[in-house]
Structure 1
Amino acid sequence: MDLSVTIPGGLHPLALRNPVLTASGTFGYGVEFEPYGDLTALGGIVVKGLSLKPRLGNPMPRVAETPCGMLNAVGLQNDGVECFINEKLPRLPWRELPVIANIYACDPGKFGELAAVLAAEEGVAALEVNISCPNVKEGGILFGQDARQAARVTEAVKMRAGAKPVIVKLSPNVTDIVTMARAVEDAGADMLSCINTLSGMGVDIRTRRPLLANVIGGLSGPAIKPVALRCVWQVSRAVSIPVIGIGGIASAEDVLEFILVGAHAVQVGTANFMRPDFAFRLVDELNELCDRMGITDWDAFRGSLKA
């Protein structure tokens, strides 16, 4: 099967060799995974979250294993956008596959400023907006939990993103994810990715201390896949823009499940920590599975769940 897929959105749709992308924060800047496979075999790379200035992140410990998943409170550690542009991006094969920059900031103006910097870079195919960030100017409210704030961020990014498609990454930590999806679609988002991590925590009964220094972190891995599938199914039925599915993908069957409920593509995250070659192997396994199941057309298979 020809696994390629084109995700419509904005002036420049994303043309992917296959629907397997890497999730932000789980694949570094991409270059770290070159020893484990051919980066150009992937559908695309979403680099770790970028900020205007370098960020140290949260204190240790900031990763903990849980049944069927992991907790993390890394705190969005990164080298800053200028370092990415000057030192990381030139080393990526951006002429051969889409490199997507995940961005975050603490107010809409800074989001827009960051978008403007990246909009000027030929090697950046699209921007993924992490709206699960504290809005300091609004008393610490998460953008992703307030439809009005999420729309403001989306508008600020779209205004300065130029021709780059804007993907808004939705949080599951809301009462109604469909309301959030419609708000950012109305504000100009070209695509959606869902979901981000669920809020969670772990404790050690022997030391009587939390597993994470930050106490609360983001839960990811196979444990959250049912939630992610539900969100993708609900959102893809409620909006007219494409959806990228994220959450607990650990096999080719998982990929097909997300496409079946409406996703155009998927992002692989926690599984990259278990096997650094996982995303590369997944592409081969997906091809074999589609062949066995007789799936020959993504457009016909996508969203064909009989519910």
Structure 2
Amino acid sequence: MKKLFSIFLIAIFAFANAQNSDSKETANRFFYELTFKPRKDSAKLEKVIMALDIVKDRSIYRDYTAIGQDSILKVQFDAMQKAGVFKDLSKSFKMPKFSEKIVKTYPDMKIEYIERIANGFTPMNIGYSENLKFNWKISNDKAKIGAYNAQKATTEFGGRTWTAWFSTELPFQDGPYKFSGLPGLIVKIEDDGKNYSWVLQGNKKVPNWEELTYMEKISNVGTKVTEMPKDKFDRTFRDFKKDPFASARPMMTQEIMSRSIPGMDGTIGDMMKKQEKMYKDFFNANDNPIEITQAAATEKKKK
């Protein structure tokens, strides 16, 4: 999920085994405020903070929500493990708005697009790779975007026309989402219909940086990605969104579903229904994709 916290919290609690990290990498973390229109037929706009972490050989783009709650989550899970009692954490944490993780490798800027699905009760990463070459048209227009002197550039991507502002004061040929390839970091970019607009809000150094969040570590999801062709990825992820527990349901006997959960009201079946509703509400909240052409191609193949 845009990062979804768990495929099934019970399974995560059962298999929790977070390890201490000895990461020596330092990341440059850039915070973008993303203003977006979640539904095509609505004038409503929503906002979320997205993070772009740049390390020596790659960058990682993702929703900052899960990262920002990492320390709180660790305290809660440590307390649960010490007490030996499960606790429903769904009321304590905000759900991310976006589930994808996008990795760009340097210097070739190969893109890996990653989502998380369930394999039974075990989370797994699926993804596809692509080599995008943006046809940027750099103009002489300049402006001050936040604290940085920036220059204008435009491109066509995903069925939309995009206007970007990049700054050579930040020497990274990168940007939010899949965007890259300008002679400086993209500090602002939006499409002509203002469906999606990223604006850089700040940055900081992150010593001992780790790619995995605490939740990813305790769920054993790791960084391994099952790569597949883009059309197969689209089908697989579409099927998951349609029925998030399809691979787990055959394992759930009536006896298991009726078991109570120590530390919370309700049964395993109740918890499963709650999680299923959470997933479906999450996926149904946005029908206005960033890449219109990709979404249209997926819909065409469904018919």
Question: Could you state the TM-score of these two structures normalised by the residue count of structure 1?
Answer: 0.24
- Relative CO higher for 1 or 2, CA cutoff 8 Å, sep ≥ 6? 2
Greater strand percent: which structure?
2
Greater helix percent: which structure?
1
Question: Could you state the TM-score of these two structures normalised by the residue count of structure 2?
Answer: 0.24
Greater Rg, structure 1 or structure 2? 2
